[in-house]
Structures are given as structure tokens and as C-alpha cells.
Amino acid sequence: MIKSFKDLEIYKRSKEMLKDIYVMTEKYPDTEKYNIISQLRRCSLSIVLNIAEGYGRQSKEDFKRFLKISLGSSNEIEAILEISKELKYISEEDYVRISKENEEIGKMIYRMIEKWK
């Protein structure tokens, strides 16, 4: 039974991806500290926080709105991961792993939006 946003699988998975992204970005060059690193971390944090905030609004429409914001952040993550791979800031293995998880989370967000229609 879901009593809190903390019980949502999408929240748990998003939080794990956030932690993976924080660890992964430790390997980026220091010159990207306020650019790509910051943006990638903020996008991943945005997903987690928007799920929590939207759920807390206790309104279907508000929750859907916050989920849509999370979906946008998921798309940003994908773009940044692609750029990071092309700049050789991350390995192919890291790209595939995080990108796949991000894609799954994006699908979960989309299904949740559809469910609340």
C-alpha cells in the first residue's frame, strides 16, 4: 500500500539513478563543475523532487503536471549523457547503464501520467 511518495517505485528508482549520476560525475573534469556536472545533477535531482512534490499536492492534475516536469528532466539527462559520451567524459559502459535506467524511469513516468488520466 502506498502511504507516501517514498513508497512509489518510480521515486526509489529515480533516487538510485541520482546517486549513480553523482558518483559518475565525480570522474568529470573539474572544468565542468559548474556546467555539465551541475546540470546533470540538477536534472536527476529534479526528477526525484518533482515526484515527491507532485505526490504531496494530493491532486491528480498537480501530480500529472509535476510528472511531466520530471519527464522533461529525464529527456535533459539523455541529452547530457549523449554529449558527455561524445566528449569522452564517460565510458560507453556508463553511458549505456545510466541511459538505460533513465529510459526505464522515463517510461515509468509516462505510464504514471497515463494512469492518472
* pLDDT tens for each residue of 29-66: 999 999 999 999 999 999 999 999 999 998 999 999 99
What residue numbers bound the domain in which 10 lies? Answer: 5-115
Cβ atoms within 10 Å of 21's Cβ, excluding its own: 23
- The 10 Å CB-count burial string (b at 16+, else e) for 36-64 is bbebbbebbbbbbbbbbebbeeeeeeebb
Whether the pTM exceeds 0.75: the reply is yes
d(CA 106, CA 44): 12
Looking up residue 13, the CATH number of its domain turns out to be 1.20.1440.60
Question: How many domains are there within the chain?
Answer: 1
CA distance 111 to 24: 28
